Amino acid sequence: MNVKSIVVEQLDWNATSKSLTLEPDYNGQLWVAFPTDYDEPRNSPFYFQHPNYDKKFNEGFAECQARRITKNNFYELEGVFTYKATWQNITTERNSISYYALYLPEFAVPVDIKLLDPFSEGRQYKRTVFKDEQQPRYIIYLQCASRFGSFSFDIICKFKMNKEGFSDSSYTDEFQQDFYARPEEWKYLLNQTEREKVEQYFITNNNYKPMGDQYNINQAGAVGPNSSANNNVFNQTNYTLPDNTNYELLSSELAKLKQELISKATLPEHFIAISEVANAEEATKNKDGNKVVKSLLTAGKWVLDAATNIGTSVVAEIINKQIGG
């Protein structure tokens, strides 16, 4: 993934924090991958495509000054530690993503995590919580996307020390998302009625491609630029996969396809397509054929071509069958 910037923060049990910001330097691009993408040693929350970034991160983080956090922002009550902070103006830009990654202290297990929008009371951002066995620490990843060129948030994180139970621990909640999930900033720029219209569009446009004026729609009142429709009633289309579908094989193919797409992605819409493949892969765990198909159709032709080229036959067959009707 090509990102605008990354901010890495590390907490330690002595109530100190240190942080480092990286921005594009070599060839003007900062390409990163996530811990789930490769099974290799790393010293940061990310794998860097350019080896010089590894060196830059390691040297920079080693030189970072650990600063003492105030008692109001780092404290312990009945065995539960609480960390609070406000981050303002993380650099980003339209059609780009920056990342904030927080290392919790060693062997800390999250109890509750809140990443809040300081400009919209009660709104929580989705994020990815990952248990890093290499450190061993939990890492909280937040996508920072904004049309205004900067991103701000508040964090309130509660956790416990659990050295003996760390390897068996886990954390999830309703705000957990996949690493390659698409940002949902658009939802908060619209009112409730407008959001419902957009979401209905995604439901009814079963082969939506954000790459140009291409249309393959099962249900629509109007299609194409400058078209309009009034007083239409749409019914949601549900898809099924055969009862004998090998979801384990399908999951394996989707994981392989995702890795291939990551290596080929060059445009913002490519990463949106990758997020749909990740959603499809996640849906295989629950054998949710409807969600698998919808996600793959939304991903579009770029994904189909890649699936065909690398020989992920089950995935290609699913997309081809649905597109072909």
pLDDT at 268: 64
pTM: 0.61
As given in the structure block, the two tokens for residue 100 are 């904030």
Q: Long-range contacts for 187-196 (Cβ within 8 Å, ≥24 apart)?
A: 188/117, 188/120, 188/123, 189/147
Q: Which residues of 176-201 are buried (b: 16+ CB within 10 A; e: fewer)?
A: ebbbbbbbeeeeeeeeeeeeeeeeee
Position 291 confidence tier, pLDDT thresholds 50, 70, 90: confident
CA torsion 271-274-276-279 (nearest 10°) is -120
Residues 47, 125: Cα–Cα separation, whole Å: 24
- DSSP helix/strand/coil, 293: helix
Rounded distance between C-alpha atoms, residue 173 and residue 101, angstroms: 18
pLDDT in tens, 184-224: 554 544 455 655 555 555 445 443 333 333 333 333 334 34
Q: Rounded to 5 degrees, what angle do the CA atoms 192, 91, 194 make?
A: 10
pLDDT digits (tens, 9 = 90+) for 84-130: 999 998 888 767 789 999 999 999 999 999 999 998 888 999 999 99
DSSP 100-140: EEEEPPTTEEEEEEEEE-TTSTT-B--BEEEEETTTTEEEE
Which bin fits 160, alpha (ψ -120 to 50), beta or left (φ > 0)? beta
Q: Which residues contact 254 (CB under 8 A, 6 or more apart)?
A: 277, 280, 281, 284, 312, 315
Q: How many CB atoms lie within 10 A of CB 301?
A: 15
